[in-house]
Amino acid sequence: MWSKFEADGCTWEVRVVANESEDPGTEILEFRPEEATRPPRRLAVERGVAGSMNDSALHAAYRQARPIGADFYGRPGKRMSDGVG
């Protein structure tokens, strides 16, 4: 089971995604809302740190994470209005 916590009015699930980082010393944390009402967020952290994070550390990491996805012009966090999903 993945870690879950409440922030910004919804429940977020936290997981380590397959290492997509170019740096072998880091791993990617992904924050996904349970209700799928907001875009997922990602943050690179040191490898092995994710398993030992407590609730306050997860909240701090969540605040640093940025939404993934982009609009037609490549601006992060902006979603196209006609986009599906």
Does residue 85 fall inside a structural domain? no
User: Is the residue at 81 inside a domain?
Assistant: no
* Domain housing 15: 3-67
- When divided into structural domains, the chain yields a total of 1
Give the pLDDT of residue 79: 56
Asked whether residue 48 is assigned to any structural domain, the reply reads yes
In a domain, 57, yes or no: yes
pTM of the model as a whole: 0.72
- Residues in CB range of 14: below 8 A, 6 or more apart: 2, 3, 4, 5, 29, 30, 31, 50, 58, 61, 62
pLDDT band at 60 (very low <50, low <70, confident <90, very high): very high
Could you tell me if residue 18 is inside a domain? yes
Phi-psi group of 9: left, alpha or beta (phi > 0 → left; psi -120 to 50 → alpha; rest → beta): left
